[in-house]
Chain A
Amino acid sequence: MPRVTFTGNLQRHLDCPPADVPGATVREALEAVFAQNPRARGYVLDDQGAVRRHVVIFVGGQPVSDRQRLSDPISPGAEIAVLQALSGG
């Protein structure tokens, strides 16, 4: 089952422990997390359901390519990491 983990910087504001959830895409896995933890949605996704501009999601060490629909396929043992992006000046 895919595992979703969240950066410690997010856990300062929100309780979001690692979650083992079903899903064949990044979207499906995240929706499973949000079903258990509704507050987490607004911290990870924007109002249109896309990944927030300064958030980045990695699957197996690679950034997801579809940040709008999160349609990237994942394997049953995928490790999905939700991190804050390096940004600013």
Chain B
Amino acid sequence: MRIYVGTRKGLFTIQGGEVAAASFLGTPVTAVLPRDGTVYAAVGHGHFGAKLHRSGNGGETWEEIAAPKYPEKPADAVDKDPVRNKPVPWSTELIWTLEASGKTIWCGTIPGGLFRSDDSGASWSFLCARSGTGPSASSGSAADMIFPASTPSASIPAMRAASSPPFLVEASG
């Protein structure tokens, strides 16, 4: 069994009870998804934004792929967080979680938004933002969305509480 541990200091691969590899040292890794022989890792560069990387060899080497991107904000749009009463940025600040169902990869972000990819992360489609904040949904609010029965609850990241630690531990057989 191989376990991928995303931390604020990088991504660590645990195998046989030991650290077998380390990637992105010194950079927060906010989500990890091993899927069909490919590992996806979301990194948060802070100053330089959230990025996504993909590895086809278990994390030995990585290639940067497209990161989810918010649509253009209409000039007349007024969008405020009702709790903090501050403008909601229409820009991905952090990749909160990655999940997969079938060939589709789901990505949840901060500010609360949901994206999907049907081409292994080469491109992303914006689906919706948290109801009441963020860009208007093209297909309804997160609460309105219908997910396949096989989709784990973690695939509805826009509804997750924003106070949880931004890291994931994922394992593959």
Contact = CB atoms under 8 A, between A and B. Distances in A.
A48 B46 contact: no
A48 B45 contact: no
A2 to B, nearest CB: 22
A32 interface: no
Given A13-B45, A46-B89, A85-B47, A39 B64 contact: yes
Interface of B: 27, 45-49, 51, 64, 67, 69-70, 72-73, 89-92
Interface of B is mostly: loop
Contacts of A43: 45, 48-49
Interface residues of A, number: 17
A6 B70 CA distance: 25
B91 A55 contact: no
Nearest 4 pairs of A and B residues by beta carbon: A47-B91, A46-B91, A84-B47, A43-B48
A60 to B, nearest CB: 22
A21 B67 CA distance: 27
Interface in A2-53: 9-10, 13, 39, 42-44, 46-48, 52-53
* Most chain B beta carbons < 10 A, residue from A10, A46, A54: A46
A42 B51 contact: yes
Interface string A53-66: 11100000000000
A52 B70 contact: no
Nearest to A88: B46
B72 A42 contact: no
Given A42-B67, A47-B90, A48-B91, A10 B72 contact: no
* Most chain B beta carbons < 10 A, residue from A13, A42, A53, A84: A42
A54 B47 contact: yes
Contacts of A42: 49, 51, 67, 69
B84 to A, nearest CB: 15
Contact of B69 (A39, A47, A52, A85): A47
Nearest to B48: A43
Nearest to B51: A42
